Copies of this chain bind each other. A is one copy, B any other.
């Protein structure tokens, strides 16, 4: 992120453009937690990824929840006495309360009013509202529109269906060298909302495509989930309860397309490697980046971090959901998300994964005093007053590589970017000054730490 070479900048512009176009293609679709809009969205992603679509039948029990009826909608409107559509689903799919039951009839404005949702504080925006588990119907419209409606009779129609069907979600598994998995999850259940839902879908798709192109040469296996919020994550967890043991780390992506600074919300455990990796990467980005404590509200980290699972899953955002006025309104549109922001978010995800992929334990093979770096060409022989960061990175790696400090531990203690520390470790390894502590040993060490932690927590 600190590089300024113009070819790189151009590449970023190109990537950003592509990401924004991808979001724009998905924008018009009327998604909900079930139904054709959701399926259509997943099929579009399938064009870019080896994505498996799963269908789970209405009525299936998933932990404490039940898969609801499938909801589909063809049309909806409110017509005034002249037959003009004053509220029209065809113009904006936010106009209908999601999961509205069908309705058809004539009614006065005062009969209609309890079913109309607006945002008086932002009179030009249409709110986004849902009623998944309580049967209801309604329209969302701008407050200006509401105020302009004359008294009188209106024709009201919602041509929707609530039928036995299924809930759909998409899953893309990319096997790596280890069966340990990193989970990336995003929700796909919001209609025309850009930052909330499309930004996550877009970045996750690009990230998965990038990893897929490495053809399994990566350390971890990756599992990308594109699913309806809450009920989708609960469904996946209910159907894969045993295999969650393989999930070492995970990331929920949401609201990562706007211009705001990055926010990483820690996992419930709070001190896992992904929490530290994300904090490290964000600290290098800008002073505005923030690491937030876990809380049991937000997106699907709620489910992954429920006490029965307690997975090491955090949530990456730019502006925090609920904290920006455009949230859950028609103002969260394609202008609200920026090509540059999407590209940078993809880069940040890659950086976090880069840390996880490369964070290992090494052992200094010359642990008694410093090795003579000069004769290996790894030190400047006539020194000035200050030590360049690349030299200092080598000294730190040598000093702390006693089999107990991972590269991320070293990067954090040295206040040096992980990438620089990794570079130093590779150079020292090439020079036979460092060796990697075997995976097995590291796994054992991690288990021991986990055991101790458990013992302490109890």
Residues of chain A at the chain B interface (Cβ within 8 Å): 62-65, 129-134, 136, 230, 233-234, 237-238, 241, 268, 295-297, 302-303, 305-310, 322, 327-328, 364, 366-372, 374-375, 381-382, 385-387, 392, 395-396, 398-402, 404, 414, 445, 448, 452, 456-458
Sampled A-B contacts (22; CB under 8 Å): A62-B369, A64-B370, A64-B372, A129-B382, A132-B381, A134-B381, A233-B369, A234-B369, A237-B368, A238-B369, A241-B368, A296-B395, A302-B370, A302-B399, A305-B399, A306-B370, A306-B399, A307-B401, A308-B368, A404-B458, A445-B458, A452-B456
Most buried by B among A63, A371, A445, A457: A63
Minimal Cβ-Cβ distance residue in B for A448? B458
Which single residue of chain B is at the shortest CB-CB distance from A363?
Answer: B307
Identify A296's interface contact among B296, B368, B396, CB under 8 A: B396
Q: Which residue of B lies closest to A322 (CB)?
A: B385
| Minimum-distance CB pairs A-B, first 8 | A308-B367, A296-B399, A308-B368, A296-B395, A307-B402, A64-B371, A134-B381, A307-B367
B398 and A296 contact, CB distance less than 8 A: yes
Q: Which residues of B contact A372 (CB under 8 A)?
A: 64-65, 133
Taken together as a complex, chains A and B put the C-alpha atoms of A268 and B364 apart, in Å, by: 15
Inter-subunit contact A308/B374 (CB<8 Å): no
State the Cβ distance, A319 to closest chain B Cβ, in Å. Answer: 13
Are B458 and A366 neighbours in the complex by a CB distance under 8 Å? no
Q: Which residues of B contact A456 (CB under 8 A)?
A: 452
Minimum CB distance partner of A385 in chain B: B322
Q: Point out the residues of chain B lying under 8 angstroms from A367, CB to CB.
A: 306-308
Most buried by B among A133, A241, A296, A404: A296
B369 touches A399 (CB 8 A): no
CB distance from A236 to the nearest CB of B (A): 10
The residues of B that contact A237 with a CB separation of less than 8 Å are 368-369
Which B residue's beta carbon lies closest to that of A364?
Answer: B307
B297, B366, B458: the one contacting A395 at CB < 8 Å is B297
Chain B: which residue is nearest A133 at the CB level? B374
Q: How far is the CA of A358 from the CA of B258 in the complex (A)?
A: 45
Residue of B nearest to A134 (CB): B381
Contact of A268 with B399 at beta-carbon distance under 8 Å, contacts A306-B370, A368-B241 already known: yes
Q: How long is the Cα–Cα vector from A276 to B321 in the complex, in angstroms?
A: 32
A65 to chain B, nearest CB (A): 5
Other-chain residue from B305, B369, B392, B404 in contact with A303 (beta carbon distance below 8 A): B369
Residues in B neighbouring A452, C-beta threshold 8 A: 456
Q: Pick from A64, A131, A307, A375 the residue with the most CB of B within 10 Å.
A: A307
A133 and B385 form a contact (CB under 8 A): no
Q: Across the two chains, which residue of chain B brings its CB closest to A130?
A: B382
Q: How far is the CA of A372 from the CA of B65 in the complex (A)?
A: 6
- Contact between chains at B297 and A387 (CB < 8 Å): yes
| Contact residues in B for A402 (Cβ distance below 8 Å) | 307, 310
Whether B386 contacts A322 by the Cβ 8 Å rule is: yes
Indicate if the CB atoms of B297 and A381 lie closer than 8 Å.
Answer: no
Find the B residue at minimum CB distance from A452: B456
Chain B residues within an 8 Å CB radius of A398: 296, 306-307
- Contact indicator B382/A136 (Cβ below 8 Å): yes
Extra contacts besides A129-B382, A296-B395, A296-B398 (8): CB < 8 Å: A63-B371, A64-B366, A65-B369, A295-B414, A302-B370, A303-B370, A307-B402, A310-B402
Chain B, Cβ-Cβ closest to A305: B399
Most chain B beta-carbon neighbours within 10 Å: one of A369, A372, A456: A369
Per the bound structure, the CA–CA distance linking A43 and B372 in Å amounts to 30
- Report whether B457 and A404 are in contact in the complex, using a CB–CB cutoff of 8 Å: yes
> How far, in angstroms, from A372 to B375 measured CA to CA in the complex?
67
* CB proximity of A254 to chain B, nearest CB, Å: 15
Expressed in whole angstroms, the Cα–Cα distance for A302 and B306 within the complex equals 44
In the complex, chain B residues whose CB is within 8 Å of the CB of A230: 370
Task: Find chain B residues with CB under 8 A from A448 CB.
Answer: 458
How far apart are the CA atoms of A338 and B399 in the complex, in Å?
35
